[in-house]
Amino acid sequence: MTAVDPSLLSNPRSDGVRQVAALGRRAARDRQGRFLVEGPQAVRELLRYAAPAAAALYVTDAALARHTDIGRAARDAGLEPRRCTEQVLAAMADAEHPQGVLAVARRVDVPLGEALDAVGTDGFAVVLAQVRDPGNAGTVLRGADAFGASAVLVSDASVDVYNPKVVRSTAGSLFHLPVTVGVPVEELLAACRSRGVRLLAADGSGRTMLPHADFGRPHAWVMGNEAWGLEESVRALCDDVVAIPIQRAESLNLAMAATVCLHASASARA
């Protein structure tokens, strides 16, 4: 007979495990106001930059032994790591390889006004108008972080930033800078305008080429949809429509275009 270890979660079909696993779906995330943070690197960033949002931490014994800093950071944040079996962790996770570490976090988005305060009079931001692909959205967040953007404003027509695939592809950037979600794009753009934020639509149809763009301060890049770009009605709300000079049409995807635009903003500031 095997001794039962009461501190080890071992039943992948328990209600608690199901409740965590449900966070892979948007309806459950919206209902619980929580989301999944998977893998040691993302959990590390959560505990480092947004510890008050961490609601629970699940780890296998092997992962806890390997990443002693994570257990320590969790306890510093008043969170006792919950030991679980590989099977329980796999049942909770959306990722194929969560590497034995998974956290549940409360939402980290901020109100629009707070995000715009962060942009202030000298910063720059990025607006996701209608970005649907999780990998692209995550990469844009990561680029915003890398190049020192002050905020990311995500419209209600874009992918849920708490989608586990988005969270994974931000590689922790979701916890590094203010992110606003769920606002219609027209409202986002009107709010930017009212604060004097210059709106630059990034779109292959633009007649202003990136090297000639007037960034001004503050400014925001407005990124459209992967397949059809920015809707005419959204472009019309922007101060300028800017294209990246390329050799061949349709050869940049949205994440690459955003990377180049955000790098240009960082370079213009430097």
For 12, phi and psi rounded to 5 degrees? -65, -10
94: tokens are 């959306």
| Residues making up the chain, counted from first to last | 270
User: Interacting stretch for a second copy, rule CB under 8 A, among 2-10, 124-132, 228-236, 239-247?
Assistant: 239-247
Cβ proximity to a second copy, 14 vs 267, nearer residue: 267
Close Cβ partners of 206 (under 8 Å, ≥ 6 residues apart) = 240, 241, 242, 243
Provide the minimum distance between the beta carbon of 40 and a second copy in the complex, in angstroms, as a whole number: 13
Q: Within 94-153, which residues bind a second copy (CB under 8 A)?
A: 135, 139, 142-143, 145-148
Work out whether 55 is an interface residue with a second copy (CB under 8 A). Answer: no
Work out whether 211 is an interface residue with a second copy (CB under 8 A). Answer: yes
Instruction: Work out which of 136, 173, 225, 265 binds a second copy, going by CB under 8 A.
Output: 173
Cβ proximity to a second copy, 140 vs 197, nearer residue: 140
Virtual CA dihedral for 240, 243, 249, 251, nearest 10 degrees? Answer: -120
Cβ proximity to a second copy, 88 vs 128, nearer residue: 128
Residue pair 65/39 in contact by the 8 Å Cβ criterion: no
Q: ∠60-64-70 over CA atoms, to 5°?
A: 125
Q: Within 27-46, which residues bind a second copy (CB under 8 A)?
A: none
Work out whether 168 is an interface residue with a second copy (CB under 8 A). Answer: no
Cβ proximity to a second copy, 85 vs 253, nearer residue: 253
Provide the minimum distance between the beta carbon of 263 and a second copy in the complex, in angstroms, as a whole number: 5
Work out whether 250 is an interface residue with a second copy (CB under 8 A). Answer: yes
Distance CA 164, CA 94 (A): 7
Provide the minimum distance between the beta carbon of 193 and a second copy in the complex, in angstroms, as a whole number: 26
Close Cβ partners of 226 (under 8 Å, ≥ 6 residues apart) = 131, 132, 133, 136, 253, 254
Size of the site for a second copy (CB under 8 A): 29
Interface with a second copy (CB under 8 A):
135, 139, 142-143, 145-148, 171, 173, 176, 211, 244-248, 250-253, 255-256, 259-260, 263, 266-267, 270
